Chain A
Amino acid sequence: MFDFLLRKAGYWFAKKQETYRSKEPDKDDTISKNLTEVLNTIRNETIGSKDVVIREIYVGGDVGADAAIVYIDGLVSSKIINDDVIKPLMFDTRLDAGYAKKDNVITYIEKSLIAVNEIEEVGKLSEALNGALSGDVALFLDGIGRAVVINSKGWEKRSITEPSSEAVIRGPRESFIENMRTNTALIRRKIKNSSLVFEQMVIGRKTKTNVSIAYINGLAKPELIAEVKKRIKGISTDSILESGYIEQFIEDAPGSIFATIGYTEKPDVAAAKILEGRVAIIVDGTPFVLTAPFVFLESFQAAEDYYFRPYFATMTRIIRIIGYAITVLAPAFYVAVTTYHQELIPTSLLITFASAREGVPFPAFVESLIMIITFEILREAGIRLPRPVGQALSIVGALVIGESAVSAGLIGAPMVIVVAITAVSGFLVPNQNDSAVIMRIILLILAATFGGFGITMGLLAILVHMSALESFGYPFLSPTVPFDLEDSKDAVVRAPLWLMISRPKGMSEDKQRKKYKVPPTEANNNDSGEASS
């Protein structure tokens, strides 16, 4: 239903947008043969930004052989420009003033002169400028209406550190960084396979962000790849600053509270998902990589589950699922039970609760609401505060505040415990924090108005909603809702690795994840050892 309303709103806004969108005047995109003209055009385009550097040189040192390089200071590595672009052009060439009339000048420059790893010839001014804005250096030659874009990227980037949001006890501690190329390299290091494909596109009218799609050819379904590409290409917006933008544009159910596209900050997680046949979307400028399709159960799977042994992994996973249930249901359950269904509480506990509630002015529902909102405020504040202060305002701080509130008579003691458990359990499944918070409040309101009946009907409605959700054609609640016993080996329990023989059904072309090693006998002696696929 929210989908419906949102779509209606969207159409309405889109209609208005058509009239308001600024018409960008058509520009002349050719590179003029006159160098001065070109440079003037560039200066106008960049409106005199001080970081756009235009360096004019004489090719071969010969006066009259004009050329200029354009680059953006800060994006480039000066060493490359000095040593590998300017120096060869000035000193190492036999070109002279009349070079523009020679044949194949650009080819000569590209292939014999500039010793840089990536070089491209372009014919349009916009392409040259894009190159410059991306950190390359654009070389303009007088008399030749084409430019050469030379790779010289060398900006400051963060070093590869531990992931900030997905800490692990066991497993690699690398995390993606903001640089797309480094990220793709990190994935390459995990999957040394020539079938691993990185397709690239540029999205965002003004930001022109590079977006890379990674998949393994032969594992990922062609329909999936095509659908992902189609949706991304369909994005028509000015800015793509983070993968979240892309996620919100291409997801299946924008009106639902559940995310149908996953994200991760760790290369090993991304690699594992690619190996299952999923598609990873890497966006330049953010360390968070999207993965599609995404099922609800993935939020309960952590990377470490696979590095630990099955019993412990299974137990931890079950605890996570229980934690999610607690975080969503605890306040609602408390309110429902103490307000409507007192017969469900063991008698001695009931008397304790009752004595705790004596003298508290607010009804249980208001109490819960106040505590939940307070906790969300504290949590958000804890993230934004500077490091040293943030530690103090941790969960312990929140509990202390709760204690004081109890002493002041504002809330009852059981409420503090309930909210504390809710809050702590919420951190077990950080991926689903957004949906958990909203569900918590909805179920709380339902519980306050209809008691246990309300909670049950609310859960049923959520179940119906979730089972209808699909992520790129893949059911959101598999393997539970179209029930599949084989896929459940990785759902609530984590089956031992030697049992995880197949990939999730329907997700990839190649079902067999692993072939059993056949022990060597006389008959098989001439087999070279079977490698896992």
Chain B
Amino acid sequence: MKRLWRYVLNTAVLLACLSCLTGCFDRRELDTLGIVMGVAIDKGKDEGDTELTVQMANPSGGKSESKGKASKEDGGGSSGSSSAYINVSNAGKNMNFVVREMQNKMSRRIYVAHSEVLVMSEELARAGVRDCLDFFARAAEARMTPFVFISKGNAKDILEIEPEFEQLPSMELAKMLRDQKVTSHAPMTTEFDFVTNLMSKTTSAVAPIVSVINDGGIERLIVSGCAVFKQSKMVGEMDETDTRGLLFVQGKVKNGVFLADIQGETATIEIRDGQCKVTPILYTDGTAEFNVREEVTVGLGDQSGTYNLADPEHTQDLLNASQAVIKSEIQQAVDKSKELEADVFGFGEYIYRKYPEQWNQMKDKWDELYKNIKVNVTVVAKGDGSGRTVKPIAPDEAIQ
């Protein structure tokens, strides 16, 4: 009988332990989540405040035909016409506080793990972004995969532009940036890259700029150029060409087009591939020189006129022109960065890797030293075909 008691007691204890399973803590049903797809941060109206807008996907809306028409047009209630997304804003001092307090306004729990974009307004960027980003780097739920954008004007407005192809503006924006590889006019910066660069003492972080343009009556987003940061404050921007120069030096230009003037005619030249090697040279007097060697593969996109650029004899013209254009783009980027006194290329890091001891003395003064660095740009272009045709569309006699 004593043994029986033991078993009974054991079982009772076990069952008692199991009773705490009734909570199933951490359980989140899908229909209790507000899936955040995009986050926009603006400077708040009050002093020291930041305003946070989250864009959440609305799963029960915008399913079949409707492309997310704003719900204020219809009275709501009919399922096919409610919006595919909902924007909610809240303002306050610290990001985590703002996010958490936003729950008071919503029936769903904010869930940021799927966020695709993080847009910050230029105003906020110029005041300093570090405090806003701390929450996103620290929270376990928030991954560092969304893309970071700086918006001209209010970040909130960016998230309200009607998307044309996607269901939500955030997804549209994210996809736009992914497609930037075709033109290489904006850097694809994820939160991870951005934060990594912010942590560096000398390298400047960059983020693509997004703005709203009026394109024949329709409001569209356009992504081009980048914003330059120094110590988490935005200090300036680089336009399309400068940005591409920057991307050239980073070796991230794999596709793009530019115009070249050859023999009085304009041709569009396609970049098919590009690689870059940067070699730092440090002189004993402390001046630094960088040899930037860019190797690109170019091809003929289209040409005007009858000067046959596809002709092997004329290839050298093509290549020369390409080299000149690319070199000038890179030089432009370098000049702009010197003007902003921001080391966007990470030249400081190159010196650190090669001359670590000297770097220790240099790094505090890098801002000043940066103005005086010499950058030698060499571009080597290789030809890669000219498309389907081997001569321009003209009778043979007219072609040169």
Contact = CB atoms under 8 A, between A and B. Distances in A.
Is there any pair of Cβ atoms, one from A and one from B, under 8 angstroms apart in the complex?
yes
A347 B116 contact: yes
A364 B167 CA distance: 26
Given A340-B27, A340-B28, A364-B30, A355 B113 contact: no
Most chain A CB inside 10 Å of its own CB: which residue of B27, B35, B143, B167 = B27
A354 interface: yes
A451 interface: yes
Contacts of A289: none
B57 A342 contact: no
Nearest to B141: A343
A354 B59 contact: yes
A343 B145 CA distance: 12
A43 to B, nearest CB: 51
Given A343-B143, A347-B37, A449-B21, A354 B113 contact: no
B24 A354 contact: no
B63 interface: yes
B75 to A, nearest CB: 19
Residue of A338, A339, A354 with highest tally of chain B CB at under 10 A: A354
Contact of A353 (B28, B30, B111): B30
Nearest to B116: A347
Nearest to B111: A342
Contacts of B143: 343
A358 B141 CA distance: 23
Interface string B43-85: 0000000000000010110010000000000000000000000
Contact of A358 (B24, B31, B35): B31
Given A342-B33, A342-B111, A342-B113, A358 B27 contact: no
B59 A351 contact: yes
Contacts of B141: 343
Interface residues of B, number: 24
A347 B114 CA distance: 6
A228 interface: no
B111 A354 contact: no
A461 to B, nearest CB: 15
Contact of A343 (B26, B30, B113): B113
B35 A354 contact: yes
B31 A360 contact: yes
Contacts of B59: 351-352, 354-355, 357-358
Nearest to A451: B26
B37 A357 contact: no
Interface of A is mostly: helix
A364 B28 contact: no
Contact of B24 (A343, A352, A360, A448): A448
Interface string A334-372: 000011101100010011111101111001100000000
A363 B27 CA distance: 10
Nearest to B24: A449
Given A351-B35, A354-B57, A448-B24, A339 B114 contact: no
Given A350-B114, A351-B35, A357 B24 contact: no
Contacts of B30: 338-339, 342, 350, 353-354, 357, 364
Nearest to A344: B113
A310 to B, nearest CB: 43
A339 B31 contact: no
Interface string B104-121: 000000010110100000
B29 interface: yes
A342 to B, nearest CB: 7
Interface in A1-57: 8
Given A342-B113, A343-B141, A355 B63 contact: yes
Contacts of A351: 35, 57, 59, 167
A357 B30 CA distance: 7
B26 A340 contact: yes
B117 to A, nearest CB: 12
A282 B151 CA distance: 80
Interface in B1-50: 7, 21, 24, 26-31, 33, 35, 37
B111 to A, nearest CB: 7
B31 A354 contact: yes
Contacts of B114: 342-343, 347, 350
A23 B113 CA distance: 73
Interface string A105-128: 000000000000000000000000
Interface string B91-131: 00000000000000000000101101000000000000000
A450 to B, nearest CB: 8
Contacts of B24: 448-449
Contacts of B28: 339-340, 342
A360 B59 CA distance: 13
Interface in B246-288: none
Given A339-B28, A342-B111, A451-B27, 18 more contacts: A338-B29, A340-B26, A342-B35, A342-B113, A343-B113, A343-B114, A343-B143, A347-B37, A347-B116, A351-B35, A351-B59, A354-B57, A358-B31, A358-B60, A360-B31, A364-B29, A448-B27, A449-B24
Question: 8 tightest A-B contacts by CB?
Answer: A355-B59, A343-B113, A354-B59, A358-B60, A357-B30, A347-B114, A354-B30, A357-B31
11 contacts: A342-B35, A342-B113, A343-B113, A343-B143, A347-B116, A347-B171, A353-B30, A354-B33, A357-B59, A364-B29, A451-B27
